Chains A and B, each alone.
Chain A
Amino acid sequence: MNDTLGGWLEILALVVVVALSFRPLGDYLAHVLTSPRHWRVERLVYRAGGMDPDADQRWTGYLRAVLAFSLISVLFLYGFLRLQNHLLLALGTPRMKASQAFDTAASFVTNTNWQSYAGESALGYFVQMTGLAVQNFLSAAVGIAVVAALIRGFTRTRTERVGNFWVDLTRVVLRVLLPMAFVFAIVLVAAGVVQNLHGVQDVPALAGGHQSITGGPVASQEAIKELGTNGGGFYNANSAHPFENPTAFTNLIEIYLLLVISFSLPRTFGVMAGDRRQSYAIVAVMVLIWAASVALITANELHSVSSTAGHDAGGMMEGKEQRFGIWASALFAASTTLTSTGAVNSAHDSYTPGGGGMTIFNMMLGEIAPGGTGSGLYGILVLAVVTVFVAGLMVGRTPEYLGKKLRSREMKFASLYILTTPAVVLIGTGIAMALPGERAAMLNTGPHGFSEVLYAFTSAANNNGSAFAGLSVNTTWYNTVLGLAMLLGRFLPMIFVLALAGSLAAQQPVPVTAGTLPTHRPQFVGLLTAVVLIVVGLTYFPALALGPLAEGLH
């Protein structure tokens, strides 16, 4: 089988399995988020935490719960990392230095999973399993909980209540993430991903000498790493490492896992909103952008090759694993940067300027196609609000989305949302480029060196977590600033989303008439896609011009 056919078959298989999951998983998530029944084990959790599972929260209460929970998570993880040499199964790893521990804690709680350390040498099993893996579940669930609150803002009428954070969080973890992660961890083990507590083994190498090989509970972490769009690898090489992602089959499974929840959530939105046509419009925008991105990266890696070696290899093979090849690498790269996953099975830094530039652009889109678990859907819904506002004016009515009017209050929160991430990315990159000391951390010069810094801040502020290499980020400055970028990029938008939810929930819906802007037709799909591309394009065009464009155009 040649590469092209194989590539197409892999894409086809992926599209089919994601499409098949769309309805059942979306419907199930809607059921989980709306069912009045509590499981017994959930009641135990609520009793232990002293929460009333039947009390609805105002958006402010919901927000306080999100922030408090996340703050505690950061503190816990920070403590674990600082004290890990005293913990079980430490494998002799030393405690992490303060700035790096902060960076890592912020990173895993914000669903970013930026890693300025190498997992196999810096962390023991206990921290990996109880610190990082736990956050992989929780941070993913927090995103879904927040989008659930936003959906309730659209569906509820004249109320201040947008749901109960603790119930949403608990249910998503217990009813969705844990069972799915368990099943897929077993599938991954069966497919060759390692799962043991063997520690470091000393193995004589074929060519003589010795090799230290670190085993570990990889498969269990790998499943939730992808499913929760986390992306923090057990090993430094992440999904390029043969223990994490040994075969083309596991590669397909991993891409499927990192896409499936985010692609199914629009269905949940449509079901909860009582109008399934809305979910098709949203998912259509996601699919359009995703497909275009996959196509562009693949085409660039196949054809925009400048080196002789690349021509001989039939594409840009530098930085890509031989067992995946160009097609599966590009597919993974597009999917991981369009979600907030950030796992990698190849080195994005070595991509062609066009392909690498696309990975940056994907993240700049705000990760909405399909985005992180929950965060992707709320991101695209906020952009839909902006689109409806401008388009709604053009049909001569006060704009309304799903019957809720978009007035100054709603536009304030939507505007602040779309303002936040670009501000964090650009100001962060700007400061880094202005400080001579931080410029010294750059290992490359010229546009490519700039792209690496831009990538770092884009990845952090959008909670992606993947990295262009070539930048020494384990410095106190980068650890601190990127940690802050991750926190701001995660929680400021959440504040605005929940405020928007509260403001929408308080409204009396407007009936739909022939004069209402239809938001389920191809027209709206095209318009929303255009708004996403133009707004993002305009914001980042100068930066992209000095990075990938300057590098790529000759």
Chain B
Amino acid sequence: MAVTGGPAPLPAGGDPGTDQHRVAGGLLDPRLLLRSAPDALRKLDPRVMYRNPVMFVVEAGAVLTTVSAIKDPSVFAWVITAWLYLTVVFANLAEAVAEGRGKAQAETLRRAKTATTARRLTGWHPGAEAAAEEEVQATALGLGDHVVVEAGQVIPGDGDVVEGIASVDESAITGESAPVIRESGGDRSAVTGGTQVLSDRIVVRITSKPGETFIDRMIALVEGASRQKTPNEIALNILLASLTIVFLIAVVTLQPFAIFAGAGQTLVVLAALTVALIPTTIGALLSAIGIAGMDRLVQRNVLAVSGRAVEAAGDVNTLLLDKTGTITLGNRQAAEFLPAQGVGIEELADAAQLSSLADETPEGRSIVVLAKERHALRARTEGELAHATFVPFTAQSRMSGVDLDDPQDNRALRKGAAASVMRWVREAGGHTAPDVGGIVDGISASGGTPLVVGEVLRHDGSGSARVLGVIHLKDVVKAGMRDRFDELRRMGIRTVMITGDNPLTARAIADEAGVDDFLAEATPEDKMALIRREQEGGKLVAMTGDGTNDAPALAQADVGVAMNTGTSAAKEAGNMVDLDSNPTKLIEIVEIGKQLLITRGALTTFSIANDVAKYFAIIPAMFAGVYPGLRHLNIMGLHSPTSAITSAIVFNALIIIALIPLALRGVRYRPSSAAALLNRNIWVYGLGGLVAPFAGIKLIDLVVQFIPGLR
């Protein structure tokens, strides 16, 4: 399911099949850490660091302590200086690792983008028998050009099929090896540059400029080249910057107080205190969290055009879900045989099965299967029946069936829309049982589709005709959907089912699936109006779509997930593309969006809570000399002032490395109410952040005190 195998195999994070509740990501690969190290060092450039105010302050502090250590060398000064640099490097490493995972994916995508030549048709128009053909570089293609692609050739650019039908291998972008059918017209006309035609010949109209193709955009996205800070990230950055300023002021003004107290501090100690106080943990991991969030989507084969869209997914209030394929299995299935008065159920089942043997639609197959399972009727193969002529379904007759021309069994069977079959029976001189109408209405009322089965006997030319009964076809709601919707409700998200069915049918399915609301007989305009209405109430709406007529709604929705099988118009309009074309994934996307924000909040809380312990390490170390009473604040019993300060700084740096996996994976997220989520996160990250550093600093102090020269 992953986009690639890349050089470092991508971890198949959180298979939704095994644990639906867990949104998880990859683990931290030590080799990836090593490979990211040069990048991490390169990012020490102040012109790069400047973008991250918190870490910029750390770097500036490190430079100052370096100067101070050179002028007035001591083991302590050098140890602190080294760890300040390490703090910055660790922060850069987090970002480099996150980016590295994207780069590996981009690499594989690039391979799909090998230079191809295109066979451009000049003067092609629909229906043209022949058009002049010329070979050009794929990069020379412009919007609206027509190209012909035949079996074995690579499609030179994104476009729509305007002629022909072909099977296409899209594994380069979807990772799915089974070929897909692409044909002119309709909702399966979009093809992607870099994919390969396996059979037949198609003419494609190019719809993207060179360099702006889908693959180009994918590469840019997974590499993070076009990464911009998301609104939420900016807001958090502002808060972190202001906390940094507060702590800077607190430390800078501390010096005159300290001098008055007769305990003026060295630059090294002041820099160490500053770094210990400013929120380095979250400052170091903030951008890695954002990149990893996008990456988690990519691992689920979803491409988001921006981080903004991922964040919006976490905020979604209303999910619009297409009934077919999302809530129900793709097609209706036979659920029951209901015989007419005087007809045996076995007889009806047999007739229904016979009439469906040649029916390759999913509905037809489900009838055969039901007869076999429920009534032990073996499905006969088409060749098995001599003298059988199968009558296919046509839009005019609205029936399908079989004519049996056997001397023992000379009869015609039809199944189809109630009105059509009844008319057929009446025309053959038969009568319709009075109860059939009631059965048909009953099925319709319950949201199912009735298929009437009729029979005409042709003994001796004089026929007798009758209606045998009704097949109840119904939508089958996918397993586990009700639980999923209950979960969403607990998360405060309303689900609306969109269907073309009549309101009656829609209500029945909506009730069965447990969605909050439904939109029946939905036209694209209705969908659009629904989205607008929700948005006017301040709600954020997410939806999936694939057809061209979904495009306006996809564009209007706050989160619009286009199916990769959909038209290029739909893919352009949405802000995410699901390469697996699985509409149920919308729910996972929402969870990933939420997880991204939770990870930021949790690490911010952790980072700030950490400061309490650091004060208890550093303040007594600084001032217990002049005010011995402050020794009481050294509740950790740290060895010496220098070891205490060193331990705090080492802890501050190591916690970044320790939390990189969490930043990349995202914190644990279980769908539940806001209050319950908050409770859990406060206990884990708030209280944990308060307590953990006391233990951590003490442990480090037990080691650090043995550094020779560090008193």
A residues in contact (CB < 8 Å) with B: 386, 389-398, 403, 406-408, 410-412, 414-416, 418-419, 422-423, 426-427, 429-431, 433-434, 439, 446-447, 449-450, 508-511, 513-518, 521, 523, 527, 530, 534-535, 537-543, 545-546, 549-550, 552-554
A residues in contact with B627, CB < 8 Å: 447, 546, 550, 553
B residues in contact with A386, CB < 8 Å: 239
Does any Cβ of A come within 8 Å of B593's Cβ? yes
**Are B247 and A538 interface neighbours, CB within 8 A?**
yes
- Using CB atoms, name the residue of chain B closest to A419: B242
Compute how far the CA of A429 lies from the CA of B250 in the bound complex, rounded to whole angstroms: 11
Given contacts A394-B681, A418-B242, A523-B675, contact A542 B492 (CB under 8 A): no
A528 CB, nearest partner CB in chain B, Å: 12
Does any Cβ of A come within 8 Å of B253's Cβ? yes
**Are A426 and B253 interface neighbours, CB within 8 A?**
yes
With a 10 A CB-CB cut-off, give which of A395, A415, A439, A540 has the most chain B CB atoms. A395
Does any Cβ of A come within 8 Å of B254's Cβ? yes
**Are B597 and A393 interface neighbours, CB within 8 A?**
yes
Given contacts A391-B678, A550-B261, contact A545 B239 (CB under 8 A): no
Compute how far the CA of A397 lies from the CA of B558 in the bound complex, rounded to whole angstroms: 14
Supply 18 A–B pairs (Cβ within 8 Å), ascending by A.
Answer: A393-B600, A396-B598, A407-B231, A411-B236, A422-B249, A429-B253, A430-B257, A431-B256, A450-B260, A513-B493, A514-B489, A515-B492, A539-B250, A542-B257, A543-B250, A546-B623, A553-B629, A553-B630
- Cβ-closest 9 pairs across A and B: A515-B492, A393-B601, A396-B594, A513-B492, A553-B629, A430-B253, A415-B242, A394-B601, A514-B492
Compute how far the CA of A122 lies from the CA of B165 in the bound complex, rounded to whole angstroms: 99
B148 CB, nearest partner CB in chain A, Å: 49
Given contacts A511-B537, A550-B629, contact A398 B674 (CB under 8 A): no
**Are B314 and A398 interface neighbours, CB within 8 A?**
yes
Does any Cβ of A come within 8 Å of B391's Cβ? no
Does any Cβ of A come within 8 Å of B181's Cβ? no
B residues in contact (CB < 8 Å) with A: 231-232, 234-236, 238-239, 241-243, 245-247, 249-261, 273, 277, 311, 314-315, 317, 489-494, 537-539, 593-598, 600-602, 604-605, 608-609, 611-612, 615, 619, 623, 626-633, 669, 673-675, 677-679, 681-682, 685-686
**Are A395 and B611 interface neighbours, CB within 8 A?**
no
- Using CB atoms, name the residue of chain B closest to A415: B242
**Are B253 and A395 interface neighbours, CB within 8 A?**
no
**Are B250 and A534 interface neighbours, CB within 8 A?**
no
- Using CB atoms, name the residue of chain B closest to A410: B235
Report the number of A-B residue pairs with Cβ-Cβ less than 8 Å: 214
B residues in contact with A514, CB < 8 Å: 489-492, 673-674
**Are A540 and B250 interface neighbours, CB within 8 A?**
yes
Compute how far the CA of A521 lies from the CA of B669 in the bound complex, rounded to whole angstroms: 22
- Using CB atoms, name the residue of chain A closest to B599: A393
Compute how far the CA of A449 lies from the CA of B257 in the bound complex, rounded to whole angstroms: 11
Compute how far the CA of A553 lies from the CA of B633 in the bound complex, rounded to whole angstroms: 9
Choose one: B238, B258, B489, B674; the contact of A517 (CB below 8 Å). Answer: B674
Q: Which DSSP category, helix, strand, loop or mixed, fits chain B's interface?
A: helix
Q: Which DSSP category, helix, strand, loop or mixed, fits chain A's interface?
A: helix
**Are A408 and B238 interface neighbours, CB within 8 A?**
yes
A residues in contact with B679, CB < 8 Å: 523
**Are B677 and A545 interface neighbours, CB within 8 A?**
no
B residues in contact with A403, CB < 8 Å: 538
- Using CB atoms, name the residue of chain B closest to A434: B256
A residues in contact with B677, CB < 8 Å: 394-396
**Are A423 and B633 interface neighbours, CB within 8 A?**
no
**Are B489 and A541 interface neighbours, CB within 8 A?**
no
Given contacts A398-B314, A517-B678, contact A549 B633 (CB under 8 A): yes
**Are A390 and B605 interface neighbours, CB within 8 A?**
yes
B residues in contact with A419, CB < 8 Å: 242, 245-246
**Are B629 and A390 interface neighbours, CB within 8 A?**
no
B550 CB, nearest partner CB in chain A, Å: 25
Compute how far the CA of A414 lies from the CA of B240 in the bound complex, rounded to whole angstroms: 12
Choose one: A398, A410, A415, A433; the contact of B315 (CB below 8 Å). Answer: A398
**Are B623 and A550 interface neighbours, CB within 8 A?**
yes
A residues in contact with B686, CB < 8 Å: 530
**Are A415 and B629 interface neighbours, CB within 8 A?**
no
B597 CB, nearest partner CB in chain A, Å: 5
Compute how far the CA of A390 lies from the CA of B232 in the bound complex, rounded to whole angstroms: 11
- Using CB atoms, name the residue of chain A closest to B677: A395
B residues in contact with A521, CB < 8 Å: 675
- In the complex, besides A389-B235, A546-B257, 15 extra interface pairs with C-beta distance below 8 angstroms are A393-B602, A393-B604, A394-B602, A396-B314, A396-B596, A397-B597, A407-B232, A415-B238, A415-B241, A418-B242, A423-B246, A434-B259, A510-B317, A538-B247, A540-B250
- Using CB atoms, name the residue of chain B closest to A517: B674
- Using CB atoms, name the residue of chain A closest to B616: A541
B307 CB, nearest partner CB in chain A, Å: 13
Compute how far the CA of A414 lies from the CA of B246 in the bound complex, rounded to whole angstroms: 13
**Are B314 and A430 interface neighbours, CB within 8 A?**
no
**Are B493 and A534 interface neighbours, CB within 8 A?**
no
Compute how far the CA of A393 lies from the CA of B237 in the bound complex, rounded to whole angstroms: 13
**Are B601 and A391 interface neighbours, CB within 8 A?**
yes
**Are A545 and B633 interface neighbours, CB within 8 A?**
yes
With a 10 A CB-CB cut-off, give which of B253, B593, B630, B633 has the most chain A CB atoms. B253
B residues in contact with A450, CB < 8 Å: 257, 260-261
Compute how far the CA of A538 lies from the CA of B311 in the bound complex, rounded to whole angstroms: 31
B286 CB, nearest partner CB in chain A, Å: 12
Choose one: B231, B243, B615, B632; the contact of A553 (CB below 8 Å). Answer: B632
**Are A515 and B674 interface neighbours, CB within 8 A?**
yes
A residues in contact with B258, CB < 8 Å: 546
**Are A406 and B235 interface neighbours, CB within 8 A?**
yes
**Are B238 and A542 interface neighbours, CB within 8 A?**
no
**Are B242 and A538 interface neighbours, CB within 8 A?**
no
**Are A398 and B492 interface neighbours, CB within 8 A?**
no
Compute how far the CA of A416 lies from the CA of B245 in the bound complex, rounded to whole angstroms: 10
Compute how far the CA of A439 lies from the CA of B256 in the bound complex, rounded to whole angstroms: 11
B542 CB, nearest partner CB in chain A, Å: 13
**Are B678 and A393 interface neighbours, CB within 8 A?**
no
**Are B595 and A433 interface neighbours, CB within 8 A?**
no
Compute how far the CA of A393 lies from the CA of B615 in the bound complex, rounded to whole angstroms: 26
Compute how far the CA of A549 lies from the CA of B493 in the bound complex, rounded to whole angstroms: 50
Given contacts A433-B256, A515-B493, contact A510 B538 (CB under 8 A): yes
